[in-house]
Homo-oligomer: A and B are copies of this chain.
Amino acid sequence: MYLIGIDGGGSTVRVAVTDEMLTILGQARAGGVNPNTVGRDHAARTIKETLSAALTLASIRADEVHAVGAGIAGAMTASFHDWLTEILRDMLPLAQIHITTDMEIALIAAHGERHGVIVSAGTGSAAFGVNDQGEALLVGGWGYLLGDEGSGAWIGLQALKHIAHASDRGQPSILAERVFDLLQIREARDLVPIIYQPGVLAAPRLARFAPLVLELADKDDAAQEIVKSGAAHLAELVNVLAERLKMDNPAICFGGGLLSGANPLSSALQARLGLDVFPVSVYPAEIGAVIYAMGQST
């Protein structure tokens, strides 16, 4: 029995072809497939090409696939669900198709089962959990304008706000100097036309300042304060989730680019959540999608 898992994150799609023992037979990856950001035609083409490549690498024919699981970033509307189902049906005529969110497959990948909590910080941030009764809840994930505290976009935005604030007060700022160097500008007011220029996605543009903030966290008070506050917000997502799902001492895993390795943010979050061991995922997210498909298939 052959299975396919698709992890459609904001900036990357990953596809794995496996057998029922989760042995990876073929694997492929390409750019983002969120139709809201790259457009539906582009997203459909990318999904099809990545699927084809993974099947070829696995030496499996499309009609041999029993089930496909896909976890996709972004708002999951009915129209979006139908659109993706049609693309996958077209490619895999005999397969059962199971679509869910990227947070759900990340949770399953993290723990090896649909249970526990995952807190994720990449360009955006969110926490997702499933309790013993199978009740699921997502908190956060509101995007850079409404929330996403502790994410890359949020950290970048806090850095720029700090720079504007310091400029109003005529105060020196290491963070400001480094951002000016990066953007090749001379003063804080020069940020304005850059940040508000249309046609460039604001969240990734803001998130590009996050690595600088993490790098300065042990040298600059403002950077340290941002990281500390970001970790507190991420911990709060976990606490709200655990409280609402009535989970005592849940198994917690980290996800997303900013929490997938040790850095000042992930370390601060680990400490704040009282985790003895840095919580790494059991499987990659696309295997989470395979496990999801196996659990849903008949």
Contact = CB atoms under 8 A, between A and B. Distances in A.
A146 B191 contact: yes
B192 A146 contact: yes
Interface of A: prevailing SS: helix
A160 interface: yes
Nearest to A189: B75
A145 B170 contact: no
A240 B193 contact: no
Q: Give the number of times this chain occurs in the complex, counting copies.
A: 2
Contact of A146 (B143, B164, B169, B170): B164
Contacts of A178: none
Interface in A209-265: 237, 240, 244
A163 B146 CA distance: 9
B192 A143 contact: yes
Interface in A155-212: 157, 160-161, 163-165, 168-170, 189, 191-193, 195-196, 202, 206
Given A145-B202, A146-B195, A169-B240, 17 more contacts: A36-B196, A75-B193, A77-B193, A140-B168, A142-B161, A142-B191, A142-B192, A145-B157, A145-B160, A145-B206, A146-B157, A146-B161, A146-B163, A146-B164, A146-B192, A168-B237, A170-B244
